[in-house]
Amino acid sequence: MIKVIVLGSGAAIPTKSRNCASIAIQYNGEILLFDCGEGTQRQLIKAGKSIMKITKIFITHLHGDHIFGIPGLFHSMSLMHREKPIDVYGPKGVQKFIDFITSEENFFHKTFDINVHEIEGEKATVCETDMYRVEALKVDHSIPTYAYAFIERDRPGKFLVSKAIELGIPRGKLWGKLQRGKAVKLSDGRVITPDMVLGPPRRGKKIVYTGDTRFTEALIDFAKEADLLIHDSTFDESLSEKAREYFHSTCTEAAEIAKRANVKKLMLIHVSNRYEKNPGILVEQAKKIFENTILAKDLMVIELK
């Protein structure tokens, strides 16, 4: 199961109800952090998540509301004697930022290694493991900015109990191995392969987080068939000119991307403080284009099974 935790749903200035930008993806015992605005580590505490579980941080761009939580986060990790390395991904300039905040004469003594990966080009696969990969796409903001797609690898199909019984496979560890996609050998010498007891492979989940961006056609293909699209929705439809001027999107532009990309669910995020009293207008407008739309709220959790 994948958990998507909204740590910060607001825009450049935090409000009483919205922290600055940050999304956490909890998967298979690790936490992947996407952006780290001011106050992110406290949001993690509120969400009941350990900062020591963070293995990777993906920065969309170097505006303060997306990165000012990193110094405090790394400071706390060092005070807690972290030794496990952490990977940081982001546009050109992120290495310089990390070097500055972790230089001993500036802030604190670092107890762990930080591996920085600067992204170049329009599109790239920036991280791959046996269980998932993360892709980056350059989007349209006032400084170099990348959207990210977390793509889970396809999972083994459903375990067919009737087939296992029919083949005389004893219950227990052998069933578990087959469910994990491994062949097993029975006491009578027969070799049972996973395809003999599993249904069709199950498509892995896909989550796309745009960061800050204008309406960008390239996002349609990038977000294609995503289970969850988390899209910049700084403004409502009536402020489309202002959205373009400030390199952001409206809620209806986010909905248009969701519709054309055929995603399953759209989450509106990076909500301007002008909507503090009436955020519902963003969802109302977006739903006219894409029905399965929700408004991000701090500490909201979405589970993808």
- Can you list the domains of the chain with their CATH numbers? 2-154+203-304 (3.60.15.10), 161-196 (no CATH)
pLDDT exceeds 90 at position 118? yes
Q: Which of the four pLDDT bands, split at 50, 70 and 90, describes residue 155?
A: confident
**What pLDDT sits at residue 181?**
84
Tokens read off for 35: 């952006």
The active-site residue out of 35, 65, 212, 236 is 65
Number of other residues whose CB lies within 10 A of the CB of residue 5: 21
Strands 191-192 and 184-185: antiparallel
Known catalytic residue at 227: no
The stretches of the chain forming alpha helices (DSSP H) are 40-46, 64-67, 70-79, 94-102, 161-166, 173-179, 218-222, 240-245, 251-261, 280-287
Beta carbons of 59 and 90 less than 8 angstroms apart: yes
- For the stretch 20-64, pLDDT in tens is 999 999 999 999 999 999 999 999 999 999 999 999 999 999 999
Do β-strands 2-8 and 301-304 pair in parallel, antiparallel, or remain unpaired?
antiparallel
Residues 6+ apart with CB under 8 A from 152: 2, 27, 131, 132, 204, 205, 206
Residues 184 and 171: their CA atoms lie apart, in Å, by 12
> What value does the mean pLDDT of the chain take?
96
Ranges of beta strands (E only) in 28-68 are: 30-34, 54-58
**Cα–chain-centroid distance for residue 159?**
29
> Which range among 2-6, 122-126, 163-167, 238-242 shows the weakest confidence by mean pLDDT?
163-167
pLDDT band at 79 (very low <50, low <70, confident <90, very high): very high
- Quick: pLDDT tens for 232-256: 999 999 999 999 999 999 999 999 9
